[in-house]
Chains A and B, each alone.
Chain A
Amino acid sequence: MNLALRDIRHNLGRFLLTCVGLGLLLGVALAMVGIYGGVVEEALSLARNMRADLWVVEGGSRGPFAEASRIPGDVREAVARLPGVREAGSLTFQTVEARHAGGPMGVLGGAAPNEEQVRERAGEAGRQRIGAVLRLQVVGYEPDRPGGPPGILEGRGITRGRLELVADRSAGLPLGAVVEMANLRYRVVGISTRAVSTGGDPLAWITLRDSQDLQFRLTPPAARRAQQGGGGALPQDTVNAVIARLSPHADAGAVAAEIRRWKHFSALTGAEQENVLTRSVVDKARKQIGLFTTVLLLVSAVIVALIIYTLTMDKMREIATLKLIGAPDRSIVALVMQQALLLGAVSFTSGTALLLAAKDHFPRRVVLGLAEVSGFGVLVFVICLLASLLGVRYALRIEPAQALGG
């Protein structure tokens, strides 16, 4: 006869309500575990999506994500000529507050606009700023070279057209939508598989030339002022990094060491870049979330312990009676522990189910795999087991004599 189950069935409403409350708490703790995983994964996704074996950046800098890096665009040629390098591509990165200007603009297969059309569109956009604000991490790349979108879900990639844009699906932009950035309007020609920046902003790819315009071109009044002041316009063939993909048997460390010997340049292998991203760029966010998760788990443990202790106290007379009529200690321990574990199991299941149903609605990515969920389940099991010890200790100290008398 399982006394724990019978007692739970007798007070089913109270037990389920307790489980719902604890389940919500465990759901929040599990969400933090998922957000932690999401922060790390998002931090790495940008670098991983580039599938680069090497990152060539400004000398003394740790790359375009951790620090500012500007190098001439023609470095790509020099990198591509190195032994072991299969292909190389120039990239720019910048965070932009764009505006979603609404409906489609022209047909997807239309010809690329010429310089005059680009200036005309810039003028149109400048006259009337429209649409909802959208934060994007814009990547400028050379079509047919490394650094483009990792995969196209809808539409097509950028060919040679100017003012075309491929957006990550998390941006929520439909195909054909018009996006305004720095007085220029871009047409969404493709939707990529999920790719976000270290800050969780969706990525958008445009041509390197468009991105250099976006990043380095001065507005007409600023250009006039620069000209009147005697300074020329900034050189526009500047990029933030050059990435290289190596031949299968090439040694990334050796090629990186070769590039580091060049004046004014530095090189990081893919692994070094990932290390920079996780240890430097998102380190504080990672630690903050990790600490918060630990605090939540401690709070959960205390709450489980209190619930079990209270449940045991409520049964003081019943436990005393059981002892008096000869129930062995193991029956009393089983009663308390089984209830603690069942409480943990039901709460964990309900919290996990709730989180899995809601995780896609979180603003930032929640990464929960089987390893995270099962690991958390084991942790909840251990917490419940330890927390039940308080109840067990109380139960074992109940005197059978407490069953006697009024």
Chain B
Amino acid sequence: MSALVELCGIAKGFGSGEARVQALSDITLSVDAGEVVGLRGPSGSGKSTLLNLVACILEPDAGTLRLAGETVWDGRWSRADLRALRREKIGFIFQFHNLLPFLDATDNVALAMTLNRVPLAEARRRARALLDHLQVGKRATAMPAKLSGGEAQRVAIARALANNPRIILADEPTAALDSERAQVVMDLLRQVAREQAAAVIVVTHDDKIFSRFDRLVGLRDGRVETV
């Protein structure tokens, strides 16, 4: 399989002089299409920094980052280009789902598509189909505040999948769920990775789901500890 996420010798630090903190050093990692990779490590190990780098929010100090075959941060990318890359190729799943509270489930999913210039009616039709596929279609018109934790996370997954992204980044997606629902969410991510040939990277502390990853990457003090 071809690698959709490739990090080679990535380094990232914050601050300067004596106050400088080296968050990541010499990170080399690749995630293939259809692969679900877990990223674990203690607080301050650099998990979030790594996720922000792959999400093109942070620029690495050194090394190269390739996403879906394109080298990012090579001087050709404007802020708008990076935003377009995120919009078209990356799906995000958050710990607290981050659904927009003023849109119902359907429109939360459809919004991601309309940002990609899909007409609203078509986006809503596709969003409902996606919600049905994720078995939360009956809650299509519910506002986020009325959804249970599991339902909200399924809607968030639907939003992440709205534009058929090649890369899915999930930040502690099961932290707010009980173990049963956490397993269901992980099964969904595995299913999506297979069906869409997407690379899925999940940051997690939840040892109950470690077994659901194709590969588990450990980080400590900004370095890859175990693969």
Q: Do A and B share a complex?
A: yes
Known: A1-B114, A326-B115. A399 touches B88 (CB 8 A): no
B115: A residues at CB distance < 8 A: 325-328, 331
Is A1 a contact of B55 with CB atoms below 8 Å? no
- Contact string, B105-118, partner A, CB cutoff 8 A, digits 1/0? 00100111011100
- Asked if B51 is at the interface (CB within 8 A of a chain A CB), the reply is yes
With a 10 A CB-CB cut-off, give which of A7, A11, A323, A405 has the most chain B CB atoms.
Answer: A405
- Asked if B100 is at the interface (CB within 8 A of a chain A CB), the reply is yes
Is B86 a contact of A406 with CB atoms below 8 Å? no
A406: B residues at CB distance < 8 A: 95-96, 172, 175
Provide the bound-state CA to CA distance between A139 and B100, in Å: 70
Is B57 a contact of A401 with CB atoms below 8 Å? yes
- Asked if A9 is at the interface (CB within 8 A of a chain B CB), the reply is yes
- Asked if B94 is at the interface (CB within 8 A of a chain A CB), the reply is yes
Is A328 a contact of B83 with CB atoms below 8 Å? yes
Known: A11-B102, A331-B115. A405 touches B110 (CB 8 A): no
Is B52 a contact of A9 with CB atoms below 8 Å? no
- Chain B residues 132 to 188 lying within 8 A of chain A, measured CB to CB, are 143, 159, 171-172, 175
Is B57 a contact of A321 with CB atoms below 8 Å? no
- Asked if B69 is at the interface (CB within 8 A of a chain A CB), the reply is no
Q: How far is the CB of B57 from chain A (nearest CB, A)?
A: 5
B84: A residues at CB distance < 8 A: 326
- Asked if A346 is at the interface (CB within 8 A of a chain B CB), the reply is no
A9: B residues at CB distance < 8 A: 102
Known: A1-B107, A1-B120, A405-B48. A321 touches B98 (CB 8 A): yes
- Asked if B1 is at the interface (CB within 8 A of a chain A CB), the reply is no
Is A325 a contact of B102 with CB atoms below 8 Å? no
Is B57 a contact of A324 with CB atoms below 8 Å? yes
- Asked if B44 is at the interface (CB within 8 A of a chain A CB), the reply is no
- Asked if B103 is at the interface (CB within 8 A of a chain A CB), the reply is yes
- Chain A residues 379 to 406 lying within 8 A of chain B, measured CB to CB, are 399-401, 403-406
Provide the bound-state CA to CA distance between A329 and B79, in Å: 10
B107: A residues at CB distance < 8 A: 1, 6
- Contact string, A287-329, partner B, CB cutoff 8 A, digits 1/0? 0000000000000000000000000000001100111111111
Is B86 a contact of A324 with CB atoms below 8 Å? yes
- Contact string, A11-44, partner B, CB cutoff 8 A, digits 1/0? 1000000000000000000000000000000000
Q: How far is the CB of A403 from chain B (nearest CB, A)?
A: 6
Residue from the list B55, B98, B114, B116 in contact with A317, Cβ < 8 A: B98
Q: How far is the CB of B92 from chain A (nearest CB, A)?
A: 6
- Interface size bucket, A side? 20 to 34
Provide the bound-state CA to CA distance between A404 and B55, in Å: 10
Is A404 a contact of B52 with CB atoms below 8 Å? yes
Is B95 a contact of A325 with CB atoms below 8 Å? no
Known: A401-B58, A404-B48. A7 touches B172 (CB 8 A): no
- Contact string, B34-69, partner A, CB cutoff 8 A, digits 1/0? 000000000000001001100101100000000000
- Asked if A3 is at the interface (CB within 8 A of a chain B CB), the reply is yes
Provide the bound-state CA to CA distance between A400 and B115, in Å: 16
Which residue on chain B has the smallest CB distance to residue A11?
Answer: B102
A1: B residues at CB distance < 8 A: 103, 107, 110-111, 114, 120
- Asked if A10 is at the interface (CB within 8 A of a chain B CB), the reply is yes
Q: How far is the CB of A230 from chain B (nearest CB, A)?
A: 92
Which residue on chain A has the smallest CB distance to residue B49?
Answer: A401
Is B87 a contact of A325 with CB atoms below 8 Å? yes
Known: A1-B107, A328-B80. A403 touches B98 (CB 8 A): yes
Is A405 a contact of B95 with CB atoms below 8 Å? yes
Which residue on chain B has the smallest CB distance to residue A7?
Answer: B102
Provide the bound-state CA to CA distance between A325 and B100, in Å: 12
Is B102 a contact of A324 with CB atoms below 8 Å? no
Q: How far is the CB of B40 from chain A (nearest CB, A)?
A: 15
Q: How far is the CB of B29 from chain A (nearest CB, A)?
A: 18
B114: A residues at CB distance < 8 A: 1
Residue from the list A318, A324, A331 in contact with B55, Cβ < 8 A: A324
B102: A residues at CB distance < 8 A: 3, 6-7, 9-11
Is A325 a contact of B48 with CB atoms below 8 Å? no
Q: How far is the CB of A207 from chain B (nearest CB, A)?
A: 72
B110: A residues at CB distance < 8 A: 1
Is B171 a contact of A325 with CB atoms below 8 Å? no
- Chain B residues 174 to 215 lying within 8 A of chain A, measured CB to CB, are 175
Is A399 a contact of B101 with CB atoms below 8 Å? no
Residue from the list B51, B57, B172 in contact with A399, Cβ < 8 A: B57
B96: A residues at CB distance < 8 A: 406
A328: B residues at CB distance < 8 A: 80, 83, 115
B48: A residues at CB distance < 8 A: 404-405
Provide the bound-state CA to CA distance between A289 and B42, in Å: 66
Provide the bound-state CA to CA distance between A401 and B48, in Å: 9
B171: A residues at CB distance < 8 A: 404-405
Known A-B contacts: A326-B112, A328-B83, A406-B95. Give 13 more (CB < 8 A).
Answer: A1-B120, A3-B103, A3-B111, A10-B101, A318-B100, A321-B98, A325-B87, A325-B115, A326-B83, A328-B80, A328-B115, A400-B86, A404-B55
15 A-B interface contacts by CB (under 8 A): A1-B103, A1-B114, A3-B100, A6-B103, A10-B143, A324-B57, A325-B159, A326-B84, A326-B87, A326-B115, A327-B83, A329-B80, A400-B55, A401-B52, A401-B55
**Residues of chain B whose beta carbon lies under 8 Å from any beta carbon of chain A:** 48, 51-52, 55, 57-58, 80, 83-84, 86-88, 92, 94-96, 98, 100-103, 107, 110-112, 114-116, 120, 143, 159, 171-172, 175
Minimum-distance CB pairs A-B, first 9: A326-B87, A10-B102, A7-B102, A321-B98, A326-B86, A6-B102, A401-B57, A404-B171, A326-B83
